[in-house]
C-alpha cells in the first residue's frame, strides 16, 4: 500500500506541469468487481500522466457502491487504490489502446446476520488492457479489464467511464 500511495503522490506532484504540457487524463466510471463468488460494484476515479506519447503512470481509487449476498452473508468492497505503469498505443487521434501493470490494495468486508462481521485486505499485482475513444479532442469514453492477483484470491474488474484529457 505504501508503494501505491507514494506513486500516486508522485503523479499528483507532477500534475500541475503536466496540465501545461497536455499529458494528463482524468476519468471516472463504474467498475464491476468479480472476486470469488461475490459480484461487487464500485465508482472509480483515475488520473493518468504520460511522460511520452506511449509511456505513463496512472493512479486509481475506487469506493464500493454495490454489495453482494453470498450464502447467508453480505460482501462489500470498502475501497481500493492502485498505481500503474501504462503503455498506450494511439491507433488514431481519437482511438487509443493501452496496457497497464502495477500494484493495488483493496479492503473488503463481510457480515453474516447473527454471527458477526469481518474485514480484510486484498493486496497484490494488477494488470490489464483497455481502450479509449475520444468523441472530441478532449472528451471520450474508456473501457478496460484488469486482473488483480491478491494474497489468497484473484479479482476480475471490468470498468467503463468517461475520460477527459488536458
Q: What is the pTM of this model?
A: 0.81
3-state helix, strand, coil in the chain (%, to 5): 10, 70, 15
82-113, pLDDT tens digit by residue?
999 999 999 999 999 999 999 999 998 988 88
Rounded distance between C-alpha atoms, residue 146 and residue 100, angstroms: 8
Q: In the prediction, which pLDDT does 61 show?
A: 97
Instruction: List, for residues 144-165, the tens digit of each pLDDT value.
Output: 999 999 877 889 999 999 999 9
Cell for 37?
A: 463468488
Distance CA(89)–CA(49), nearest Å, equals: 15
Q: CA quadruple 43, 49, 53, 54: dihedral positive or negative?
A: negative
Residue 18 confidence (pLDDT) above 50? no
Partnered with residue 149 across adjacent β-strands are 125, 154
Tell me the domains of the chain and their CATH numbers: 2-16+23-165 (2.40.160.20)
Question: Which segments of 52-134 does DSSP mark as H helices, in order?
Answer: none
Q: How far apart are CA 95 and CA 25, in angstroms?
A: 14
For the cut 60, the answer to whether the pLDDT of residue 43 exceeds it is: yes
Amino acid at each position: 500500500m505504501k508503494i501505491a500511495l507514494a506513486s500516486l503522490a508522485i503523479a499528483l506532484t507532477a500534475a500541475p506541469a503536466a496540465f501545461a504540457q497536455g499529458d494528463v487524463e482524468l476519468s471516472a466510471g463504474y467498475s464491476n468487481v468479480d472476486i470469488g463468488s461475490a459480484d461487487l460494484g464500485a465508482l472509480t476515479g483515475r488520473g493518468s500522466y504520460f511522460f511520452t506519447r506511449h509511456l505513463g503512470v496512472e493512479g486509481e481509487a475506487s469506493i464500493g457502491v454495490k454489495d453482494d449476498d453470498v450464502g447467508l452473508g453480505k460482501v462489500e468492497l470498502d475501497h481500493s487504490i492502485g498505481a500503474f505503469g501504462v503503455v498506450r498505443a494511439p491507433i488514431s487521434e481519437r482511438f487509443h489502446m493501452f496496457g497497464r501493470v502495477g500494484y493495488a490494495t483493496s479492503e473488503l468486508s463481510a457480515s453474516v446476520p447473527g454471527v458477526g462481521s469481518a474485514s480484510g485486505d486484498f493486496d497484490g499485482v494488477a494488470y490489464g488492457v483497455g481502450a479509449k475513444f475520444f468523441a472530441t479532442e478532449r472528451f471520450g469514453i474508456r473501457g478496460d479489464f484488469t486482473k488483480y492477483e491478491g494474497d489468497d484470491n484473484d479479482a476480475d474488474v471490468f470498468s467503463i467511464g468517461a475520460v477527459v484529457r488536458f
